[in-house]
Amino acid sequence: EAQVTQNPRYLITVTGKKLTVTCSQNMNHEYMSWYRQDPGLGLRQIYYSMNVEVTDKGDVPEGYKVSRKEKRNFPLILESPSPNQTSLYFCASGPDRAYGYTFGSGTRLTVV
């Protein structure tokens, strides 16, 4: 089954404790992206990747890091999480940046 797999689904952590949210796709997609979704603000892009070792900032990259060492994986790293990073996070992939995306099931992160 074609899918984007994110883990974990839910995460509660404390301020400053480094965490990683994993994302993996099995569709051989070139393009992958991370979004956060907040009430009233919609989906905002954090980082995106055009291909292996090619990443760039989206609209809200502060406090986040990403890497793309393999085509299928695109982890999101929060080096020192803060409460304002409490949000619902989605990983997405697509065959090309101009096409529609397949989204992962989401990660609900709470930073206390």
**Residues near another protein (CB under 8 A):** 33, 35, 40-45, 48, 50, 56, 58-59, 90, 97-106
Q: For residues 14 and 39, which CB has a smaller minimum distance to another protein in the complex?
A: 39
Cβ at position 106, least distance to another protein in Å: 5
What is the C-alpha separation between 54 and 70, in angstroms, rounded? 11
Cβ at position 105, least distance to another protein in Å: 5
| Sequential DSSP letters for 27-78 | S--SEEEEEEEETTTEEEEEEEEEETTEEEE-S--TT-EE--SSTTB--EEE
What is the C-alpha separation between 28 and 10, in angstroms, rounded? 26
Q: For residues 79 and 103, which CB has a smaller minimum distance to another protein in the complex?
A: 103
Which SS3 state, helix, strand or coil, does residue 83 take? helix
Q: For residues 9 and 18, which CB has a smaller minimum distance to another protein in the complex?
A: 9
Cβ at position 33, least distance to another protein in Å: 8
Instruction: Label the pairing between strands 102-103 and 4-7.
Output: unpaired
Cβ at position 16, least distance to another protein in Å: 29
